[in-house]
Amino acid sequence: MSEAQFSSGGPTFQSQARIKFYCDEDRCIDCHGCDVACKEAHHLPVGINRRRVITLNDGIQGKEKSLSIACMHCSDAPCAKVCPVDCFYIRADGIVLHDKKTCIGCGYCLYACPFGAPQFPKSDVFGSRGAMDKCTFCAGGPEETHSEEEFKLYGQNRIAEGKVPVCAAMCSTKALLAGSGEEVSAIIRHRAITRGSGTPKIPYTWSKAYGE
């Protein structure tokens, strides 16, 4: 399957296989289009960053790489394992969501997450931090789909409209991909062949998130 067959920002959701994010560090140009698009689309308050761009090997000439990071919707989500009130749930397509009305803001999920994805509106060490916020893969939450309450608590529900997450859709270099594991893997293989780099390595973020 050629990369040209995929829609802007990544594959469509024709497959019911497990969803995945992937950021191609050879294509990411640190433009922050992904995190800005996320904040704008979901009307996130100041201090809440569902997605962020980090720099690897900062200051080392020729080795600096940028990477867009958010919740990876892990297959064996550690956040869900440590939650004392079971506010997390995992959809059939692998998207990890949570119920803000159940969350008590204890922060256990933040310490368990290998990607630092959970966000809290307050920073009180000894008290509640407020209901946790994180990337929803633009799939909303447990409220009625496309209701005012769903948008207020979780932002846009683009998945219900058959669209890819806004961060991937807005990526100008197509570094950030979102879709089924099979479809994203096909793009990774295609790019590796095009570059002449042979069999691609399993992305580090995938080994942490999906145990591959």
207: left (phi over 0), alpha (psi -120 to 50) or beta: alpha
The pair phi, psi for residue 109, each rounded to 5°, is -60, -35
Q: How large a percentage of the chain has pLDDT more than 70?
A: 91
Do the Cβ atoms of 70 and 52 come closer than 8 Å?
Answer: yes
51 by DSSP, 3-state: which?
A: strand
The pLDDT score that the predictor gives to residue 124 is 67
Residue 13 has pLDDT above 70, yes or no: no
Over 70: is that where the pLDDT of 1 sits?
A: no
Q: Please give the share of the chain, as a percent, with pLDDT higher than 90.
A: 75
What's the pLDDT band for 126 if we cut at 50, 70, 90?
low
Angstrom distances, CA of residue 29 to CA of 133, 184, 202: 26, 20, 21
Q: What three-state secondary structure class fits 79?
A: helix
Structure tokens, 139: 């799939």
Minimum mean pLDDT among 47-51, 57-61, 156-160, 172-176: which range?
57-61
Reply yes or no on whether the pLDDT at 91 is more than 80. Answer: yes
Give the pLDDT of residue 127: 65
Residue 8 pLDDT exceeds 50: no
pLDDT of residue 37: 98
Instruction: Give dist(CA 2, CA 5) in Å, integer.
Output: 6
Average pLDDT over residues 58-71: 91
DSSP β-bridge partners for residue 119 = 133
Contact 153, 108 (CB under 8 A): no
Range of lowest pLDDT (10-14, 23-27, 46-50): 10-14
Of 143 and 60, the one with more pLDDT: 143
Residue 150 has pLDDT above 60, yes or no: yes
In whole angstroms, give the CA distance from residue 135 to residue 96.
9
Please state, as a whole number, how many other Cβ atoms lie within 10 Å of the Cβ of residue 14: 10
β-partners of residue 96 are: 90
Burial of 135 (0-12, 13-18, 19+ CB in 10 A): buried
Average the pLDDT over 163-186 and give the result.
95
Asked whether residue 57 carries a pLDDT value surpassing 60, the answer given is yes
- What pTM does this model have? 0.88
pLDDT, position 81: 97
- What's residue 5's pLDDT? 37
